[in-house]
Amino acid sequence: MPRRFGLPSVYLAAAMATAATTAVPLAMTPASGKALRPAVTEPSRPYIVTARSRPDARDLVGEVRWRVRRFYTAALPGFATFLTAAELAELRADPRVLTVEADRQLHPIPVRRTPRPTDDWGTGARATVYVVDSGVDVARPEFGDRAWHAFDATGGTGRDCTGHGTQVARIAAGRVTGIAPAARIASVRVLGCAGPGSLSDVIAGLDWIRRHARGPSVANLSIDGADSPALDTAVRGLVQAGVFVVGAADSGICQVTPGGEVFSALAPQVAGAAARHLEHHPEADPSALAASLKCIPAHSAIRQNPSRSSNLLMHNGGL
């Protein structure tokens, strides 16, 4: 099968272009017939708005364009913006709006190490693992030329300040310790150097993957993020587009939700195993792949990292 992805430099250029397009252009005009709103004098807070359709999202962005921070073009029909209390109430009552939720910090989940499989069933050579995390140290020798900085939602260079994303990548696809030692590794940085990152940045990372993923693809999110309608929508969209998505949970058992998302405390290992399977079955859809990995259907809520007081329950696909 021909190589589906270009060289890392191509992805760097794509990342720079994406950073420019996910922020709403200053020249954007309001929807036809809408007057500009007066300057805001009361406090505003960050929110994520999910519209009922893409045309609805475009209209809404036009109306509040000067305070819109991100406009999502693929992951979901919506945007991240600042709203006053009055604007929040107005949007929640707008029939074009599906949900409005507060933007908040998401935290990396500690990853567990397990022995690398000794069999030679597969190496993940035809797959790409998108590490949605703190970045990846792509210069590590064990990654060879397989890893690159694909996208940085924080506006940086993709550098991994904390090492969490690099650890995830090593477990999933490192040459020495990885489950899929030949899989390509795309670093999608969504977390900051202090550790956590914003929900809006995580969705921006998924938005980038949705627009750029080609061929057998796996996305790993070792990040908390429970009870977020916007994140649920973005993840389901990736699954529907054919990307196998695995998120962190407190159970080592691989569990799949009705929406097709997979969860495990061994998320990087599951991501690597998925890449190995995709090497031999590149056309497998996420549901078939989950079945082949013997993931258990999860009909009840999944609790993620219950030791963290800020964590909530995940219901039907929340990360």
* CATH classification at residue 87: 3.30.70.80
C-beta of residue 91 within 8 angstroms of C-beta of residue 83: yes
Same domain, 175 and 274: yes
**pLDDT, tens digit, for every residue of 84-98?**
999 999 999 999 999
Q: Which of 42, 75, 103 is the last residue of a domain?
A: 103
> What's the pLDDT at 312?
24
pLDDT at 8 over 70: no
Same domain, 153 and 66: no
> What's the pLDDT at 169?
98
> What's the pLDDT at 120?
64
Q: Is residue 115 part of a domain?
A: yes
Q: Is residue 193 part of a domain?
A: yes
Same domain, 117 and 158: yes
pLDDT at 73 over 90: yes
**pLDDT, tens digit, for every residue of 283-300?**
999 999 999 999 999 754
Work out the average pLDDT over 91-115. 93
Please provide residue 179's backbone torsions phi and psi, each rounded to the nearest 5 degrees: -70, -40
> What's the pLDDT at 24?
47
Same domain, 83 and 126: no
How would residue 218 be classed by pLDDT, with cut points 50, 70 and 90?
Answer: very high
Which among 318, 277, 313 has a CA at the least distance from the CA of 295? Answer: 277
**pLDDT, tens digit, for every residue of 37-62?**
445 568 999 999 999 999 999 999 98
The pTM score is 0.82
> What's the pLDDT at 119?
66
> What's the pLDDT at 259?
83
Tokens 């495990």: give the residue. Answer: 264
Q: Which of 103, 131, 161 is the last residue of a domain?
A: 103
How far is it, in rounded angstroms, from Cα 146 to Cα 70?
30
**pLDDT, tens digit, for every residue of 249-287?**
988 889 999 888 999 999 999 999 999 999 999 999 999
Q: Is residue 4 part of a domain?
A: no
pLDDT at 208 over 60: yes
Q: Is residue 271 part of a domain?
A: yes
pLDDT at 317 over 80: no
Same domain, 298 and 149: yes
Helix, strand, coil in percent for the chain, rounding step 5: 30, 20, 50
Which of 115-119, 219-223, 288-292 bottoms out in mean pLDDT, i.e. has the lowest?
A: 115-119
> What's the pLDDT at 115?
75
Same domain, 171 and 250: yes
Which of 29-38, 84-93, 152-161, 231-240 bottoms out in mean pLDDT, i.e. has the lowest?
A: 29-38
Give the bridge partners for 95, in sequence order.
none
Residue 155: CA atoms inside 13 Å, Cβ hemisphere, count?
7
Q: Is residue 12 part of a domain?
A: no
Q: Is residue 15 part of a domain?
A: no
Domain that holds residue 51: 22-103
Q: Is residue 16 part of a domain?
A: no
How far is it, in rounded angstroms, from Cα 308 to Cα 197?
16
Tell me how far CA of residue 317 lies from CA of 103, 241, 243, 253, 278, in angstroms.
19, 16, 15, 15, 22
pLDDT at 307 over 60: no
Task: Please tell me the total count of domains within the chain.
Answer: 2
How far is it, in rounded angstroms, from Cα 232 to Cα 249?
15
C-beta of residue 108 within 8 angstroms of C-beta of residue 125: no
Same domain, 264 and 181: yes
Q: Which of 68, 103, 138 is the last residue of a domain?
A: 103
**pLDDT, tens digit, for every residue of 13-28?**
444 444 444 444 433 3
* Mean pLDDT across the chain: 83
Same domain, 120 and 80: no
Work out the average pLDDT over 6-10. 40
Q: Is residue 27 part of a domain?
A: yes
